Amino acid sequence: MSLQDKIRQLPASPGVYLMRDGDGEIIYIGKARNLRQRVRSYFNATGDSRYQVKFLMARVADIDVLLTDTEKEALLLENTLIKQHRPRYNLDLKDDKTYFSLRLDPREEFPRFTLVRKTPRDGARYFGPYSSATAAREVLRQMTRLFPLRHYPLATCMARKRPCLYHQIGQCSAPCQGLITKSDYLALVEGAMLFLEGKGRLLVAEFKRRMTAAAAEMQYEEAARWRDLLHSIQVTVEKQKVVLQGGDSDLVGYHRQGNRLELAILFIRGGVLSGSRLFSLGWELEDAAGIAAFLQQYYTGQVFIPAEILLPLPIEEGGALTELLEEARGSRVTITTPQRGTKRELVELACKNAESAVRQRDAASAAAATTLAELRRNLHLSRTPARIECYDISTIQGRHSVGSGVTFSDGRPDKGNYRRYRIQSVIGQDDFAMLREVFSRRFRDDSIAKNGLPDLVVVDGGIGQLNAALEIINELGLEGSFDLVSLAKSRTARDSAAVTVQKSDERVFLPGRKNPVVLRQNSAPLLLLAAIRDEAHRFAIDYHRTLRGKEGIASGIDQIPGIGPKRRTALLKKFGSLERLKTCTVEELAGVEGMNRTLAESVREWLG
Alpha-carbon distance values, 264 to 225, 241, 255, 261, 500 (Å): 41, 20, 9, 10, 50
Nearest to 553 by CA among 563, 538, 541, 540: 563
Least confident of 250-264, 415-429, 487-501: 487-501
pLDDT the model gives residue 96: 46
Backbone angles phi, psi at 24, to 5 degrees: 85, 5
Cα 229 from Cα 567, distance rounded (Å): 47
- Work out the end-to-end distance of the chain between its first and last CA atoms, rounded to an integer number of angstroms: 76
Pairing of strands 456-460, 483-488: parallel
Nearest to 586 by CA among 604, 605, 607: 604
Question: What are the pLDDT digits (tens) for 257-288?
Answer: 888 889 999 888 777 777 788 888 888 778 88
The length of the chain, given as a count of residues:
608
Nearest to 29 by CA among 76, 94, 70: 76
Cα 46 from Cα 86, distance rounded (Å): 30
Give percent above pLDDT 90 in the chain. 15
- pLDDT confidence bin for 453, thresholds 50/70/90: very high
- pLDDT confidence bin for 608, thresholds 50/70/90: low
Q: What is the DSSP letter of 590?
A: H
Q: What is the DSSP letter of 519?
A: P
Alpha-carbon distance values, 117 to 100, 101, 157 (Å): 5, 6, 24
Least confident of 122-131, 206-215, 531-540: 122-131
Give the sheet arrangement for strand 100-104, strand by strand: 114-116, 100-104, 125-130
pLDDT the model gives residue 203: 67
| 437 vs 300, higher pLDDT | 437
Give percent above pLDDT 70 in the chain. 83
pLDDT the model gives residue 321: 87
Residue type, 300: T
Asked if residue 530 lies in contact with residue 524, where contact means CB atoms within 8 angstroms, the answer is: no
Question: What are the pLDDT digits (tens) for 385-428?
Answer: 999 999 888 766 556 678 888 999 999 999 889 988 887 777 76
Cα 558 from Cα 347, distance rounded (Å): 59
Residue 141's Cβ-count burial label (10 Å; 0-12, 13-18, 19+) is: exposed
Cα 264 from Cα 146, distance rounded (Å): 31
The DSSP bridge partners found for residue 126 are: 103
pLDDT the model gives residue 406: 92
Cα 401 from Cα 417, distance rounded (Å): 21
Helix axes 220-239, 182-196, angle to 10 degrees: 10
Cα 438 from Cα 536, distance rounded (Å): 13
Query: Which SS3 state, helix, strand or coil, does residue 420 take?
Result: strand
For the chain, list the domains and their CATH numbers: 3-85 (3.40.1440.10), 100-239 (no CATH), 249-358 (3.30.420.340), 387-539 (3.30.420.340), 559-607 (1.10.150.20)
Global pTM reads: 0.63
pLDDT the model gives residue 98: 46
Nearest to 204 by CA among 181, 180, 225, 232: 232
Cα 226 from Cα 221, distance rounded (Å): 9
pLDDT the model gives residue 495: 57
pLDDT the model gives residue 244: 66
Residue 129: cis peptide before it, omega within 30 degrees of 0? yes
pLDDT the model gives residue 568: 72
Q: How far is CA 436 from the centre of its chain?
A: 33
Residue type, 54: K
Over residues 492-508, mean pLDDT: 63
Question: What are the pLDDT digits (tens) for 128-145?
Answer: 666 666 767 777 777 777
Cα 324 from Cα 487, distance rounded (Å): 55
Cα 76 from Cα 68, distance rounded (Å): 10
Helix (H) or strand (E) holding 63: strand 62-67
Helix axes 220-239, 133-146, angle to 10 degrees: 150
